[in-house]
Protein backbone atom coordinates (compact mmCIF):
# COMPACT_ATOMS: atom_id res chain seq x y z
CA UNK A 1 0.00 0.00 0.00
CA UNK A 2 1.24 3.46 -0.90
CA UNK A 3 -0.23 6.90 -0.28
CA UNK A 4 0.24 10.19 -2.08
CA UNK A 5 -1.51 13.54 -2.10
CA UNK A 6 -2.17 16.56 -4.26
CA UNK A 7 -2.29 19.76 -2.22
CA UNK A 8 -3.66 21.83 -5.08
CA UNK A 9 -6.77 19.66 -5.40
CA UNK A 10 -6.82 18.69 -1.67
CA UNK A 11 -6.96 15.00 -2.53
CA UNK A 12 -5.41 11.96 -0.87
CA UNK A 13 -4.69 8.85 -2.93
CA UNK A 14 -4.26 5.45 -1.29
CA UNK A 15 -2.89 2.88 -3.74
CA UNK A 16 -4.21 -0.54 -2.71
CA UNK A 17 -2.87 -2.77 -5.47
CA UNK A 18 -1.66 -3.02 -9.03
CA UNK A 19 -3.69 -3.66 -12.13
CA UNK A 20 -5.79 -1.93 -14.74
CA UNK A 21 -8.68 0.23 -13.57
CA UNK A 22 -11.95 -0.77 -15.19
CA UNK A 23 -14.46 1.38 -13.31
CA UNK A 24 -14.88 3.61 -10.28
CA UNK A 25 -17.62 4.23 -7.74
CA UNK A 26 -18.11 7.50 -5.88
CA UNK A 27 -19.68 7.81 -2.45
CA UNK A 28 -19.52 11.32 -1.02
CA UNK A 29 -15.87 12.40 -0.85
CA UNK A 30 -14.60 8.87 -1.60
CA UNK A 31 -13.88 7.40 -5.04
CA UNK A 32 -12.81 3.76 -5.26
CA UNK A 33 -11.28 2.47 -8.51
CA UNK A 34 -11.74 -1.24 -9.27
CA UNK A 35 -10.45 -3.87 -11.70
CA UNK A 36 -12.91 -5.68 -13.96
CA UNK A 37 -13.15 -8.42 -11.30
CA UNK A 38 -14.03 -5.96 -8.55
CA UNK A 39 -10.65 -5.74 -6.82
CA UNK A 40 -10.09 -2.24 -5.35
CA UNK A 41 -6.93 -0.60 -6.68
CA UNK A 42 -7.12 3.02 -5.60
CA UNK A 43 -9.00 5.00 -2.97
CA UNK A 44 -9.29 8.74 -3.60
CA UNK A 45 -10.37 11.01 -0.78
CA UNK A 46 -11.59 14.37 -2.08
CA UNK A 47 -11.52 17.41 0.23
CA UNK A 48 -9.04 15.34 2.22
CA UNK A 49 -8.17 18.02 4.77
CA UNK A 50 -11.84 18.36 5.81
CA UNK A 51 -12.50 14.60 5.78
CA UNK A 52 -9.41 13.80 7.87
CA UNK A 53 -10.13 16.66 10.25
CA UNK A 54 -13.69 15.41 10.78
CA UNK A 55 -12.47 11.84 11.21
CA UNK A 56 -9.90 12.91 13.81
CA UNK A 57 -12.55 14.89 15.69
CA UNK A 58 -14.94 11.91 15.76
CA UNK A 59 -12.13 9.60 16.91
CA UNK A 60 -11.10 11.94 19.70
CA UNK A 61 -14.70 12.43 20.78
CA UNK A 62 -15.31 8.67 20.91
CA UNK A 63 -12.20 8.11 23.07
CA UNK A 64 -13.48 10.66 25.59
CA UNK A 65 -17.07 9.44 25.61
CA UNK A 66 -18.53 7.31 28.35
CA UNK A 67 -18.67 3.64 27.39
CA UNK A 68 -22.06 2.35 26.30
CA UNK A 69 -23.79 -0.04 28.68
CA UNK A 70 -25.27 -3.21 27.36
CA UNK A 71 -28.16 -4.61 29.36
What is the pTM (predicted TM-score) of this model?
A: 0.76
DSSP, residue by residue, 6-64: ETTTTEEEEE---S---EEEEETTEEEEE-TTS-EEEEEETTHHHHHHHHHHHHHHHHH
* pLDDT by position in tens, the chain (length 71): 899 999 999 999 999 999 999 999 999 999 999 999 999 999 999 999 999 888 887 767 666 666 555 55
Amino acid sequence: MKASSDRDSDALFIHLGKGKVDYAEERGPFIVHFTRRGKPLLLEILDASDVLSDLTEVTMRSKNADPARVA
